[in-house]
């Protein structure tokens, strides 16, 4: 599986118990929806490796998982903080809007035509989503990263997935 086909849906957390269970952090809208997308791929040392889910359950407010062939705490501990990805083609088509993974890698340009950089990540803040834009190497304003609120019509004026471009009403100095 190539990295271009993978969309990150969560991360493995700390171990739970002695039989290889791990806590997970889901970045899907409903936490347990992460289990709807199989198979999982784990980003181990920069390579995506397929893994099978044996079981999952809630423990207090945490989701915990048992992966096949991970039977003790020591082996499970080597997977702490590993990203969980799935094949992006497994997501259902949207009638409107975009998945976050659709926006990653898009070039961000302001209304004045200034190239602000490319979307490297997305963040959820509660009130609105935020584009994390990695600035171009020789940014005239000395920026390394910009956080731009994803507010349609107000800030985000146009998204063109065909050209991988997002046009925003945003001052380049921010």
pLDDT digits (tens, 9 = 90+) for 50-94: 999 999 999 988 999 999 999 999 999 999 999 999 998 888 888
Task: Round to whole Å and give the CA distance between 48 and 70.
Answer: 17
Give the residue carrying structure tokens 């019509």. 153
How many helices and strands in the chain, by DSSP H and E? Answer: 2, 13
Q: Model's pTM, two decimal places?
A: 0.69
Q: Percent of the chain scored above 70 by pLDDT? A: 98
> Diameter of the chain by CA atoms?
57
User: Residue 39, Cβ neighbours under 10 Å: how many?
Assistant: 13
Instruction: Say whether pLDDT at 31 is over 80.
Output: yes
Pairwise CA distance, residues 3 & 23, whole Å = 24
Does the pLDDT value for residue 15 go beyond 90? yes
Residue 1: pLDDT band with limits 50, 70, 90: low
Burial degree of 133 (CB within 10 A; 0-12, 13-18, 19+):
buried
Sheet harboring 129-134: ordered strands across? 145-149, 129-134, 115-124, 107-110, 165-168, 156-160
Are 40 and 79 contacting, i.e. CB atoms less than 8 angstroms apart? Answer: no
């Amino acid at each position: 599986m190539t990295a271009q086909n993978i969309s990150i849906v969560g991360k493995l957390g700390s171990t739970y118990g002695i039989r290889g269970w791990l806590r997970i952090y889901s970045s899907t809208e409903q936490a347990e929806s992460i289990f709807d997308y199989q198979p999982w791929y784990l980003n181990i040392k920069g390579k995506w490796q397929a893994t099978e889910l044996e079981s999952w359950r809630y423990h207090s407010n945490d989701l915990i998982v048992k992966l096949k062939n991970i039977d003790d705490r020591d082996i499970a501990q080597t997977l702490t903080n590993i990203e969980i990805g799935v094949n992006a083609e497994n997501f259902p088509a949207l009638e409107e809007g975009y998945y976050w993974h659709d926006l990653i890698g898009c070039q961000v340009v302001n209304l004045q035509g200034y190239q602000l950089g490319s979307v490297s990540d997305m963040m959820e803040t509660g009130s609105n989503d935020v584009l994390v834009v990695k600035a171009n190497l020789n940014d005239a304003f000395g920026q390394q990263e910009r956080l731009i609120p994803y507010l349609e019509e107000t800030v985000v004026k146009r998204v063109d997935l065909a050209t991988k471009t997002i046009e925003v009403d945003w001052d380049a100095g921010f």
